[in-house]
Structure 1
Amino acid sequence: MSVQNAPGAGGPAASAPTKGFTALVVDDHPLLRESIISRLRTMGASQVYEAASIAEARARANASGPLDLCVLDLGLPDGNGLDLLGELRANGWVRLVVLSAADDPYSVRAAFVAGAQGYLLKSASPAVVADGVRQVLDGGVYADPSVASLLAAGLRGGRVESGVSDLSAREIEVLRLVADGQSNKEIGDRLSLSALTVKSHLARIARKLGTGDRAEMVALVMRAGVIR
């Protein structure tokens, strides 16, 4: 199921919303989600919807049509937030802010390529988060100061190792654990996946990177700056 415009629903107004804007918050952590919602209401949001997964977000988006703002995480329990980001952008959502724990070059660049106008880190102070959201609401583009240099490198055309840019957020998570020397079973236990699912992820990674050797896969993504 993909995100669609709700019947009769138009896109966000061309002018930047101020008081009374509408928003959707997508994050699977209830306390963080509630904190973001509270912050948005303090900033003047008249209506804030919430979702804990891509499926819930799609249902909300289909029901409401494009809202003034969406704040979303990349690591969601039922898929990659980048996919949702691209769907929302394609269906008229013009103010999209990623709020993520991921500070690697791939995630930052991929989010902006997919259509994000803002990229904030979950470790940022409430003031930084509010400032970033406000700038996006005003029609600007904002990157957390900690990742701004990565965005600049991407805009200058910094090369990403062949195949690495095709990796999903989940595949990068798997590779991080491979880099730590963990077995398929240990990776599965950490990510709440079966060993067979981990093996399937590694097979897809191997196809994308052109090698099935675990050490070579890790070396490729390290050279691209995706993991450290």
Structure 2
Amino acid sequence: MMDIADTDLAPDPWFRALVVDDNPAFRALLCRQLARIGATVRDAGDASVFLSALHLTERPFDLAVIDIGLPGLQGDKIISWLRSSDDAHLRGLPIIVVSGGDTAGTEFAAAAPRVLFLQKPFRQERLVAAVNQLLRGGLAH
């Protein structure tokens, strides 16, 4: 897991983000925050919808935001699946892991490439810094 520094810089505009979080209020807030900094956002309330969206999209996503404490299929399992995918884009997809207190799986996230961790609640500046760090140098695809 990489450390992030606070920054006021916004990432390159018009990146595509896929968000999965089972808390509808937090998910909506996160989607608004990402949209404010230039993202086109698709969201999911559970892992199965998230995984379907990854496969059914016409244009690949540039970033995934994954709640580590999802019911059923935990976020660390999703990350493991992405990193072992046959699809090179999914293997390298930048990921922001979020958690509202349950830090189970953060050790896994720390060992995964192109993964940052944000503890809920976090300020938009921290989200911007994480997006900038993961997408620095251009979009993921």
Q: How many residues matched? A: 121
Q: Which residue of 1 aligns with 2:95?
A: 96
Unmatched tracts of structure 1, length 5 or more: 1-16, 140-228
Q: Which residue, 99, 110, 135 being the options, matches 2:108?
A: 110
**1:103–1:129: structure 2 CA closer, same or farther, 3 Å change rule?**
farther
Q: 1:74-93 counterparts in 2 under 5 A?
A: 74-91=68-85, 92-93=89-90
TM-score, normalised by the number of residues in structure 2: 0.75
1:19 counterpart residue number: 13
Q: Is residue 138 of structure 1 aligned with residue 136 of structure 2? A: yes
Matched, 1:57 2:57: no
* RCO higher in structure (CA 8 A, sep ≥6): 2
Counting strand residues as a fraction of each chain, which structure ranks higher? 2
Structure 1 contact 20–44 (Cα < 8 Å) conserved? yes
Paired residue secondary structure (1:76): coil
SS of the aligned residue for 1:71 comes to strand
2:6 aligns with none
Flag structure 2 segments of 5+ consecutive residues without an equivalent. Answer: 1-10
Larger Rg: 1
1:48 to partner: Cα distance = 1.0
Asked if 1:28 corresponds to 2:22, the answer is yes
Runs of 4+ in 1 over 3 A off after TM superposition: none
Is the 1:55–1:78 contact (alpha carbons within 8 Å) kept by the matching residues of 2?
no
Check whether the contact 2:16–2:62 (CA below 8 A) recurs between aligned residues: yes
Equivalent AA in structure 1 for residue 17 of structure 2: A
Question: Once the two structures are aligned, what percentage of the paired residues are identical?
Answer: 31
Measured on the aligned residues, the alpha-carbon RMSD in Å equals 2.0
The structure with the greater share of residues assigned to helix is: 1
| SS of equivalent to 1:25 | strand
Residue 116 of structure 1 deviates from its aligned partner by 4.7
- Compute the displacement of 1:89 (Å): 2.9
Q: Determine the structure 2 residue equivalent to 1:171.
A: none
User: Is the CA contact 2:96–2:115 (under 8 Å) kept in the aligned structure 1?
Assistant: yes
Query: Deviation per CA, 1:37-95, whole angstroms, max 9, x where unpaired?
Result: 111111111x2111111111111111126410000101112221111112223332321
Aligned partner of 1:48 in structure 2 is 41
TM-score by length of 1: 0.48
